[in-house]
Copies of this chain bind each other. A is one copy, B any other.
């Protein structure tokens, strides 16, 4: 029988800032060193940076792709999941994780945050979306100050969510 590993999704935009790229890579490295499986959307930007970090530390990287071809996966994805269901794959990205780390990001990232919260999967945010419900701030996204911080928080929340 296999020990189930902790899985953490790293989500964020395809066109990140240089800072976000660094942060994603650092998070990928830290997750890999902790033996965590990295789940992501498999494409470029934050996804690629996180995979590159994890891969550099011999971590396992899973890319859940929106399209019909594994060729769209960034080169650091070891296990490409080819869904063919477009952005509906955002649901699978977060549902496959024990916790989610959001770095910056655009509307796709916003949907992933929403799908995670809807499914009760904890979300740690690094300079990402803020959400307010009818004018009142919603505090469900745990704010992290640094990449190291984000990883610690995600692992703690992932364990609690078990």
Contacts and interface: CB of A to CB of B under 8 A. Distances in A.
Contacts of A119: 68, 84, 87
Contact of A91 (B84, B117, B128, B129): B84
A130 B129 contact: no
B108 A118 contact: yes
Nearest to A83: B92
A87 B113 CA distance: 13
A9 to B, nearest CB: 11
Contacts of A1: 55, 75-76
Tell me the dominant secondary structure on chain A's binding face. Answer: mixed
Given A88-B85, A115-B87, A130-B131, A80 B107 contact: no
Contacts of A108: 114, 118
Q: How many copies does the complex hold?
A: 4
Counting from the closest, the 10 A-B pairs by CB-CB distance are: A111-B114, A107-B118, A110-B114, A88-B88, A82-B95, A85-B85, A130-B132, A84-B86, A107-B117, A83-B92
Interface residues of A, number: 52
Most buried by B among A82, A118, A132: A82
Given A37-B79, A84-B87, A88-B91, A131 B134 contact: no
